[in-house]
Chain A
């Protein structure tokens, strides 16, 4: 192994990193040992060996090929312009410390009395006052908690009496009591937390409901902190903190371009954030005058990957409502459940839809 080769690989790894391709030092070391095994005079073979040993994924393939063509063999230059980093990723930070406690204040705020709770559950969102909202938070949290947990297939030991018999532990117990099976050990399903991804429509037509649905999303986020939240109207934004919703979302309460926004979500975030355990919640009234073709296509891709796609629609609470809005109709084949979301009682329906 020549020291030239070491320098070459190290520089190439650094160039890849600068362009956003995750290549660590251990990967570079792998690249180096791969090159010792092959014919380094064969440029194509070097390229293939580096792709394998630096673990280049398809999404980085184009960057790799471009850099390899430019940098390998002699003309080593460290490129100046790094690839654009997603702007909001750079800009957003963790919420300030104080924000958490104020959230909690809202959550435990005014306890709803026994009868107001029932009233609150039926009260349409657009008629609610901020006081109602505070009272509802507790109910929302209960719903969110049930939404964010489900039994797993994995088995965990339980105390006596519950679950199915665990033979392994039973045999060990029997040994302790001289080979006698005095009691059987049992095990049951672990509680699993599915991943949730929320896509919330914040366009003008959603305005009366948006505040509420966002409160619901906040409640989910509190019991399932891993939940990813995206807001969209004319553009899609990934929300890191929910408090700065209006500041983060461009053109708050402007029109909607559901199709383009969901297509962007599918292109940029689907692979990393949605898998077979993920439930995708879409909160939107489906009112959109745009082209339905990209919407149907994006919904098809999301649906193919997610465990379930639930669409919460505030208009669906109206008995006269038929999902005939063009966008809604186009998306419908790829929605596991279209659910009304005009009051709290309707949100509770998500529970049975979810099991």
Chain B
């Protein structure tokens, strides 16, 4: 293995993220090739965490853009500060400035509200990590805009002109695959698919993230959740759920699983009414048996 990659693997682990060689290779290549990294996988497998740990390792700022249907330029890129502009307009009337002067005044950088994408481009103190989260939720139009931004790392604001990136940010995009990401955007990025972790890896993640959980509890939780993933659930629990559950059980001072505590805390891992209903009674005993 390339020494840099194994070193990165170790450093990610030191920062609390249990990676595997594939993840470390992807992060290494994205950093070296300076390409955006598109990460896909089920909810809760740790896609967003990669951006966080990357920012920590690079000792830089994490700038996050949460995507949703209807996301537009005003919330993702920039917006003018209208209240300040209007106040300034009123003042300018009394100062007797002409229209051209006023326009230059109120469409200056001081009146610009930076949203995440602009902030990522204009950050002066070095390249930040830009996390574009759940890009599959935004609409096609936004995706096209994003493609343009990720190609040139520059933005044109009609009133101000073109702003070029001071430092090209490290970009992580995540997707839950609720929609196919367009081919062009996919091509622009490197690609990483994260699956649910193996049992051994999940135990290590639990031990690292919830140190107070003993070996027995961590092992039982991991086996229980792995057994759950074999069942056809509406919402398959991810590692994020395992961690939540481990934290809850530590708070309850439990060092192992039994039926009573599982029934009381099942909502930490299984977050769908129908799934909880399907898991009542004998089904829980079956999963518990697999966990022991």
Pick the residue among A33, A55, A171, A305 that contacts B178 (CB under 8 A): A305
Interface SS majority for chain B: helix
Q: How far is the CA of A37 from the CA of B8 in the complex (A)?
A: 14
Number of interface residues of A (CB under 8 A): 47
Are B80 and A45 in contact, CB atoms less than 8 angstroms apart? Answer: no
Q: How far is the CA of A45 from the CA of B9 in the complex (A)?
A: 13
A22-B183, A55-B189 in contact; A275/B178 too (CB < 8 A)?
A: yes
Would you call A154 an interface residue if the criterion is a C-beta within 8 Å of the partner chain's C-beta atoms? yes
Would you call B108 an interface residue if the criterion is a C-beta within 8 Å of the partner chain's C-beta atoms? no
Chain A residues with CB below 8 A from B79, complex form: 168
Are A48 and B180 in contact, CB atoms less than 8 angstroms apart? Answer: no
Chain B residues with CB below 8 A from A127, complex form: none
Chain A residues with CB below 8 A from B186, complex form: 55
Closest to A171 in B: B85
Pick the residue among B2, B29, B93, B99 that contacts A42 (CB under 8 A): B2
Would you call B263 an interface residue if the criterion is a C-beta within 8 Å of the partner chain's C-beta atoms? no
Q: How far is the CA of A155 from the CA of B74 in the complex (A)?
A: 11
Closest to B70 in A: A153
A154-173 interface mask toward B, CB cutoff 8 Å, 1 = contact, 0 = none?
A: 11000000000001101100
Most-contacted residue by chain A among B29, B139, B177 (CB, 10 A): B29
Question: Closest Cβ of chain B: how far from A46's Cβ, in Å?
Answer: 10
Are B234 and A52 in contact, CB atoms less than 8 angstroms apart? Answer: no
Pick the residue among A37, A55, A300 that contacts B187 (CB under 8 A): A55
Are A52 and B192 in contact, CB atoms less than 8 angstroms apart? Answer: yes
Are B25 and A48 in contact, CB atoms less than 8 angstroms apart? Answer: yes
Would you call B268 an interface residue if the criterion is a C-beta within 8 Å of the partner chain's C-beta atoms? no
Chain B residues with CB below 8 A from A51, complex form: 22, 191
Are A52 and B80 in contact, CB atoms less than 8 angstroms apart? Answer: no
A38-59 interface mask toward B, CB cutoff 8 Å, 1 = contact, 0 = none?
A: 1100101100110111111110
Give the contacts of A47-98 with B (CB-CB under 8 A).
48-49, 51-58, 61
Are A37 and B102 in contact, CB atoms less than 8 angstroms apart? Answer: no
Stretch binding the partner chain, chosen from A5-13, A23-31, A203-211, A321-329 = A23-31
A38-B5, A167-B82 in contact; A57/B187 too (CB < 8 A)?
A: no
Question: Closest Cβ of chain A: how far from B283's Cβ, in Å?
Answer: 17
Question: Closest Cβ of chain B: how far from A20's Cβ, in Å?
Answer: 15
Stretch binding the partner chain, chosen from A107-115, A174-182, A309-317 = A174-182
Chain B residues with CB below 8 A from A153, complex form: 69-70
Closest to B195 in A: A58
Are A49 and B29 in contact, CB atoms less than 8 angstroms apart? Answer: yes
Give the contacts of A241-263 with B (CB-CB under 8 A).
none
Q: How far is the CA of A33 from the CA of B103 in the complex (A)?
A: 48
Would you call A276 an interface residue if the criterion is a C-beta within 8 Å of the partner chain's C-beta atoms? yes
Q: How far is the CA of A277 from the CA of B179 in the complex (A)?
A: 9
Question: Closest Cβ of chain A: how far from B188's Cβ, in Å?
Answer: 9
Number of interface residues of B (CB under 8 A): 50
Chain A residues with CB below 8 A from B38, complex form: 55
Q: How far is the CA of A187 from the CA of B191 in the complex (A)?
A: 38
Give the contacts of A273-317 with B (CB-CB under 8 A).
275-277, 297, 300, 304-305
Closest to A195 in B: B179
Closest to B83 in A: A167
Are A52 and B69 in contact, CB atoms less than 8 angstroms apart? Answer: no
A168-B80, A276-B69 in contact; A297/B187 too (CB < 8 A)?
A: no
Would you call B1 an interface residue if the criterion is a C-beta within 8 Å of the partner chain's C-beta atoms? yes
A168-B80, A171-B82 in contact; A152/B178 too (CB < 8 A)?
A: no
Pick the residue among A48, A53, A178, A277 that contacts B69 (CB under 8 A): A277
A154-B72, A178-B99 in contact; A37/B33 too (CB < 8 A)?
A: yes
| Interface residues of B, Cβ cutoff 8 Å to A | 1-2, 5, 21-22, 25-26, 28-29, 32-33, 35, 38, 40, 69-70, 72, 74, 79-80, 82, 85-86, 89-90, 92-93, 99, 102-103, 106, 136-137, 139, 141, 177-180, 183, 186-187, 189-193, 195, 232, 234
23 chain-A/chain-B pairs, Cβ below 8 angstroms: A22-B183, A38-B5, A38-B28, A44-B1, A51-B22, A52-B25, A52-B26, A53-B29, A55-B38, A55-B190, A55-B191, A58-B40, A58-B195, A61-B193, A154-B72, A171-B80, A171-B85, A174-B86, A174-B89, A175-B103, A178-B99, A276-B137, A297-B232
